[in-house]
Chain A
Amino acid sequence: MDWTRKDLLGLDDLSKEEIALILDIAESFKEVSTREIKKVPALRGKTVVNLFYEPSTRTRVSFEVAAKRLSADVINIATETSSVKKGETLVDTGKNIEALKADIIVMRHDYSGAAKMLARHLEISVVNAGDGWHEHPTQALLDMFTLKEKLGRIEGLNVSIVGDIAHSRVARSNIWGLTKLGAQVTVCAPPMLIPPAIEKMGARVTHDIEEALRDADAVNVLRMQFERDEKSAFPKQVDYFQTFGITQERLSRLKKNIVVMHPGPINRGIEMSSEVADGVSSVILEQVTNGIAVRMAVLFLVARARDKRSEDNR
């Protein structure tokens, strides 16, 4: 299995083998972060540009750490300092970064499809760090990496995703990735937060949290964004916690221990209790650590694929 893509845009596009390859490479990179000198020269001389059109600390920092541990130079561009406000188009911004001879753009954007559009217009690599409600592939990859590490496999697992599925790029990427690797995915949310025809992506749907947890090996709890302007159809925060919140009490009623994940940042007392977030089932901080290894793998693979391409063209 060889990686040939210059970009990572989403897991919808990837084969089972490609996803497995990223997870394998990530495993070999994980050790780097435990060394005294946490650096390998894999991307020495390469420039990675973090282009973030949406506020994000954890994903941006995770990519920055990953790139630096690969010895790449990193430049951060955030909306406040960008020329977006001056009306430059995304493609123009991308072409300018390309003209600076950068090698990889890591982009977070609030519009779905933005990463795909940018990648189509550029020769250099584009890594999607989250586009609108569409995909957040590295988050799903680090979730899968963590599951594999904790439970030894992905195939055959029952994984439930709880929360605002309709507006979640994390949910979409997880559904694609997990189902491709042979897990059974259940999504659980109030009806208005389940998007239409999600079953066609391979997920089961339930509106009952007890049912979602019953046979689950792991639960991925999404951040509830009540500040989002979706008007009256949204449940109140308190109602939500009572009906869908992950509590120690709910977990203790289960026959087995389940792995509890969260992409962060956590709203304690809204989608899960503090007790659960800090409890033995929680792997939330391990997800953060694994995020670095997964992003190192992704940056490494897209850079290598592009190098190969230019060698072939020579």
Chain B
Amino acid sequence: MKIIVKNGLVIDPESKLDGISDILLEEGKVAGIGRDLGASADTTIDAKGMLVLPGLVDMHVHLRQPGREDKETIASGSLAALKGGITSLLAMPNTSPAIDSAEQVRALKELIAADAKANVFICGAITRERRGEKLSDIAAMKKEGAVAISDDGVSVENRQLMFAALKAAKQNKILTICHCEDKMLSGSGVVNLGFTSTRLGLKGISKESEYIRVSRDIELAQKAGVSLHIAHVSCKESVEIIAQAKNKGLPVTCETAPHYFSLSEEAVLEYDTNMKINPPLRGPEDVAAIRQGLKDGIIDAIASDHAPHTESEKAIEFDRAEFGTVGLETALSVGITDLIETKVLTWSEVIRKMSCNPARILGVDKGSLRVGSDADLIIIDPQKEWTVEKTSLISKSKNSAFLGRKLKGVVLYTICQGKVAYQL
């Protein structure tokens, strides 16, 4: 199977590509990049006027399988990913049961092999059943193929246990991803603590509950001498603390999600439960700080934190609704609309944060186009506009914080492992 993608504007900062070029894909690999590749192909795609980019790598996705197949499955979630231009993703372990052992990793691997339409990497749980009481067998999970560990959804409250986990991560050369939230401080809050929580009469989640835990985990990682990745950074203070750590030369990386640079707490004013997200949408000054952090390179990656929920878990009272928004199908378009169009980031920078960097942080050989690399690429129309509607989403769940928003940029083709896996 040979595919040639012709005349597109190929951008990949890691391979220093930024010009009109053809790409030849063969046997699941990139076989040539340049003009006049001269090969006869089974499929020729004319990408004139379009952008050709490495397939996106989303390092924070909840596929819900096993356990909550009513919200999402590996099949439905990975297909939604392809529609959003994502060819590789990291599946978070807060499933039911949690992915907390070699056996669970193996079982999940089998499901992925059978059902996944994109490259799905596995994140194991730091602690058994994500209860924060006993470490999982990190070595065994790594051996079975897990590329990271996280108790995402909760933080490991016990410092001693977290420290032990970080040392185990170092020993096993596996990435630790921290969900930073001090539950004693966030309590039963449902929106950002501040004017919005006061105005709406809802319990607030303070920024302290996030950044104090960011500080703690960075300190513990420094002591353990291991690298650390901070998930879904939402506030100014967290960005500042991570900036300081980076200035000290500590191996700390972090991600934010599209909703944190696109939406502020004002989006919650009508009690729209699709805006109920954890960490919560913050104030305008935080949105500005997240954008600046992206621009300054403090924030390394953009990940969707795709969190599908059923209608019945969202169409209820705000206090009772689940936290989270879906994001696989909108992440790139939100990035184009609110980062590129607004001149916060260039195309190269966005691709770095959505492809190259997350692949590098996870230590997987993805997110870049060069001869010999995996044939994962996307062709997008950067000018085409679309409106996010429930009917336009193919994820099993429709709880998008961007419903009704007009966004720029549409994925025309997603090529994954050398095959056209999605086509508009």
Contacts and interface: CB of A to CB of B under 8 A. Distances in A.
Interface in B317-349: 317-320
Given A113-B200, A116-B270, A169-B201, A197 B195 contact: yes
A145 to B, nearest CB: 23
Nearest to B312: A89
Contacts, number: 63
Interface string B188-223: 000001110111111010000000000000000000
B317 A133 contact: no
A264 interface: no
A12 B202 contact: no
B319 A111 contact: yes
Interface in A258-272: none
Given A89-B312, A196-B193, A196-B204, A113 B318 contact: yes
A233 to B, nearest CB: 12
B198 A111 contact: no
B198 A113 contact: no
A131 B202 CA distance: 10
B310 to A, nearest CB: 12
A196 B199 contact: no
A195 B200 CA distance: 11
B316 interface: yes
Contacts of A200: 195, 198-199
Interface string A92-119: 0000000000000000010111101100
B200 A112 contact: yes
B386 interface: no
B420 interface: no
Contacts of A134: 200-202
A12 B269 CA distance: 11
Contact of A113 (B193, B194, B317): B317
A109 B316 CA distance: 13
A201 B317 contact: no
15 contacts: A89-B315, A91-B315, A91-B316, A112-B271, A112-B318, A113-B317, A117-B271, A117-B317, A132-B201, A132-B319, A134-B201, A135-B201, A195-B198, A196-B204, A197-B194
Report the 5 A-B pairs with minimum CB-CB distance, sorted nearest first.
Answer: A133-B201, A134-B201, A113-B271, A197-B195, A112-B201
Interface of A: 12, 89-91, 109, 111-114, 116-117, 131-135, 169, 172, 195-198, 200-201
Interface of B: 193-195, 197-202, 204, 270-271, 312, 315-320
Given A135-B201, A196-B193, A201-B198, 5 more contacts: A113-B319, A114-B317, A116-B271, A134-B200, A134-B201
